[in-house]
Amino acid sequence: MLKNKKVLFSLVLLIFVLAAAFAAGCTSSTSPAGDQNQTRTITDMAGRTVEVPVEINSVLCTSPPSTELIYLIAPDQLAGWNSKLSDVNKQYIPEKYQTLPVIGGWFGTQTGNYETFIEMDPDVVMEGFNIEGNVSDTIVERQEKMGDIPVVGLEDTTNAAGYSDAIRFVGDLFGEEERADNLITFYEDILNKVEARVSVLNDSEKPTVYYAEGPEGLQTDPEGSQHSQLISLCGGINIADCQITPGYGRTTVSMEQIIEWDPEIILAGDPGFYKSVYTDPNWQEIQAVKNGKVYLIPTTAFCWFDRPPGVNRIIGIAWTAKVLHPELFEDFDMREMAQYFHENFIHQALTEEQMDELGL
């Protein structure tokens, strides 16, 4: 009888251990129990096997889309920004996060400094990537230059139609599964409604849109650029017929080209340009100006439309869809949606005055 009880106890213990390992998402502790430097082995989104601390307390990212995803899901673990926050950004970010150091990175025209990252000694470095380019070589190079600091690949942080997997991965990695699930639910509810409603439109029902960048509005990103992705995603036609500028984007165009394109809607990325466009004589013959359909893209903690083209655009999907097709999205209460997004993921509520200033 005693022997049978021991066998039964051993089986129960084995089942418990296996269940715990499965629940941990196929990770495993590799350091002795009691060691404060315990690690676990994970498979990152590039398919690499990486050993990371069991408890991650600090993380740096090599580019803004990854940084902003970490900020939304695990802000207390974020150890630095890739670029300086503007005074506008700071109005929407809690003070304790405003003072994080600026560490640079590898994005747009910027080239990061490995010594800066290594001196800060983060628990992990996140390397964002998409399916373009040679991902493997880039991550291998980062890992070689970062030395013993584990580099974790994070895919599709710049695809506005495919953020869910990256959000879920970050939630699992940092033990913030509930917040990640809430963000995915919010994001997919918006995305699914927008995609379903604009999918039945033919081209004649889609407005032509010009994305005006820079203080004079003479820079843009055409169809196919990640920077202007929300136009087509939300049922518009990007009217810019010009070359894509890889990476940072912002192809320079002429006033004559814009007059020829004659967009029905202009989305303005620069507040100075927006203030001047209705009085600047160069723009008065364009139908978007004549019809009062120039819209300033909201910027709070981050821009809602672009710069960077990351998860900061989740609330921008709803805003852009409502601007392009107000009749299709009457049920989108932008004040309510923006407040939910800011309270739960930007970590600071909007005031009534701020929502008024944003035109919500």
User: What DSSP line would sit under 308-352, residue for residue?
Assistant: S-SGGGHHHHHHHHHHH-TTT-TT--HHHHHHHHIIIIISSPPPH
DSSP H/E element including 124: strand 124-129
- Going by pLDDT thresholds of 50, 70 and 90, the confidence category of residue 31 is low
Q: Which pLDDT score, from 0 to 100, does residue 132 have?
A: 59
Q: Which amino acid is at 194?
A: V
Q: Which helix (H) or strand (E) holds 220?
A: strand 219-220
Average pLDDT of span 103-110: 84
pLDDT of residue 56: 96
Q: How far apart are CA 89 and CA 300, in angstroms?
A: 5
Q: What is the pLDDT of residue 27?
A: 44
Structure tokens belonging to residue 45 = 């989104």
**What does the pLDDT look like over 91-100, one tens digit per residue?**
999 999 999 9
CA distances from 92 to 87, 200, 301, 334 (A): 9, 37, 5, 17
Render pLDDT for 195-205 as a digit per residue (tens, 0 to 9).
999 999 999 99
Output the pTM of the full model. Answer: 0.87
pLDDT, tens only, 239-284: 999 999 887 889 999 999 999 999 999 999 999 999 999 999 999 9
Give the integer Cα–Cα distance in Å for 50 and 149.
Answer: 10
pLDDT > 90 fraction of the chain, expressed in percent and rounded = 80
Per-residue model confidence as pLDDT tens digits over 164-177:
999 999 999 999 99
Alpha carbons 250 and 270: distance in angstroms, whole number: 13
Q: Which amino acid is at 11?
A: L
Identify the pLDDT of residue 17. Answer: 40
Task: Please give the Cα distance from 151 to 62 (Å, whole number).
Answer: 10
Output the six-digit token pair for 200.
């039945």
> What's the average model confidence in pLDDT over 80-96?
96
What is the model's pLDDT at position 327? 97
The pLDDT-based confidence of 13 (bands split at 50, 70, 90) is: very low
Q: Per-residue pLDDT for 32 more than 80? A: no
Which residues does 159 contact at the CB level (< 8 Å), separation at least 6?
Answer: 130, 226, 229
Residue 127 near residue 151 (C-beta atoms within 8 A): yes
| Cis? peptide before 53, omega within 30° of 0 | no
Q: Tell me whether the omega of the peptide bond preceding residue 308 falls within 30 degrees of 0, making it cis.
A: yes
Tell me the per-residue pLDDT of 34-62, one tens digit each, with 9 for 90 and over. Answer: 555 699 999 999 999 999 999 999 999 99
- Please say if the pLDDT value at position 26 is more than 60: no
- Mean pLDDT across the chain, nearest whole number? 90
199: which 2 tokens? 């999918």
Residue 93: what pLDDT?
Answer: 98
